Amino acid sequence: MGRLSRRTTGSTRSGVSRIRRPAITSPTPKAQPSAKGTPVVIAIMGLTGAGKSNFIKAVTGHDPGTSDSLTSSSQGVIEIPYLDPFRKLNFLFIDTPGFDPTNNDDFKVLQQIARWLREKYRGGLKLSGILYLHRITDNRMPRSSVENLNLFEDICGSEAFSIVGLVTTHWDEANRFDSLEECNKREAELSNSFWKLLIERGSKMHRFDNTSLAAWNIINSLSFEKKPLQIQKQMVDEDMPLEATTAGRRVLSWIWVLVSALKAWLNRARAALASRRSSETSMLNDNASSMASPTSVGTGLEQLSPMAPDFLPTRPQPL
């Protein structure tokens, strides 16, 4: 198993940080013949870069905005309607923005997804399937990925796990970056540990090799049973604000961990500076021609860098 994940660098999600309302858009793909009945609604979720938009492109032929950039590209929730011309079955695919371990906009991303889910549930529309995507070529399961998975479970609630499809993407590249054997091993580890709970409660695992055929096989393996998600029941049936929902509380707890880590680091930095200052003052007192210069106090800050806080996207766990 290799050591580095390919998508762990980058800055912020460009242009998203100032958006207050969720962008709920319905780009109109090529004109589709109409079909009756409520659509089969399938949401695609997962970390940024997992291949959500690309998967929808493989299913519908319409690109909701795939990206090669290292930071999240899809902004807001995007609805892509599609009519299956053979079965005359109406689908509505939902491309969601990905959680991004390289920035701290997780609550905003959750807000966008939660608002969309709440409004649709209020309007009587339930999901018939959710696909959770994960790159099989990722050779580590960083803590942020595990936390994202926990959040996904909180959004769904265990009663909805049976409409979840767990999709590993990039199988077409399995032999390019790693051996097929390693990818098989990772898949087994996902199924035996990280995805175990979901699988025990009815979720199914699938492979996606970047073909339309594989994408449709995955869609057709879903039961299409309509189920409300935990976050929808909590926000609509129980009238909870997002912050009070299970998913909302989890994201807020991450923020508190981050704030506490920052506070602890600042305290350590202050203490180190104070002790350096006091030792330099005593050196100056001891010897009027002390070598200590005012700038050496400033450079003390550089020595603090090894004490920098251990932020969330660190310490990958082996996969």
Ligand X SMILES: Nc1nc2c(ncn2[C@@H]2O[C@H](COP(=O)(O)OP(=O)(O)OP(=O)(O)O)[C@@H](O)[C@H]2O)c(=O)[nH]1
Q: Can you give the binding site for ligand X, defined by CB under 6 A?
A: 46, 48-54, 66-68, 72-74, 97-98, 169-170, 172-173, 208, 210
Token look-up 């700038």 returns 295
Please say which residue, 14 or 303, places its beta carbon nearer to ligand X: 14
- Is residue 232 within the footprint of Mg ion (CB under 5 A)? no
Q: Considering the complex, what minimum distance in angstroms separates the CB of residue 13 from Mg ion?
A: 11
Please say which residue, 53 or 169, places its beta carbon nearer to Mg ion: 53
Please say which residue, 101 or 228, places its beta carbon nearer to ligand X: 101
Q: Which residues contact 72 (CB under 8 A, 6 or more apart)?
A: 13, 16, 48, 49, 97, 98, 100, 109
Q: Considering the complex, what minimum distance in angstroms separates the CB of residue 21 from ligand X?
A: 19
Please say which residue, 104 or 162, places its beta carbon nearer to ligand X: 104
- Part of the chain binding Mg ion (CB under 5 A), chosen from 53-61, 172-180, 189-197, 303-311: 53-61
Task: Show the site string, 258-297: x = touches Mg ion by CB under 5 A, - = not.
Answer: ----------------------------------------
- Is residue 112 within the footprint of Mg ion (CB under 5 A)? no
Q: What angle do CA 100, 129, 206 make, to 5 degrees?
A: 75
Pick out residues in 174-193 that bind Mg ion (CB under 5 A): none
- Part of the chain binding Mg ion (CB under 5 A), chosen from 6-14, 48-56, 145-153, 235-243: 48-56
Of positions 53, 71, 103, 128, contacts Mg ion by CB under 5 A: 53
Q: Considering the complex, what minimum distance in angstroms separates the CB of residue 72 from Mg ion?
A: 7
Q: Considering the complex, what minimum distance in angstroms separates the CB of residue 147 from ligand X?
A: 16
Q: Considering the complex, what minimum distance in angstroms separates the CB of residue 55 from ligand X?
A: 7
CA 90/CA 33 separation, integer angstroms: 10
* Residue among 165, 192, 170 nearest 180 (CA): 170
Please say which residue, 149 or 228, places its beta carbon nearer to ligand X: 149
Could you say which of Mg ion, ligand X, none residue 248 binds, taking C-beta under 5 to 8 angstroms by partner kind?
Answer: none
Please say which residue, 52 or 186, places its beta carbon nearer to Mg ion: 52
Q: Considering the complex, what minimum distance in angstroms separates the CB of residue 73 from ligand X?
A: 4
- Is residue 74 within the footprint of Mg ion (CB under 5 A)? yes
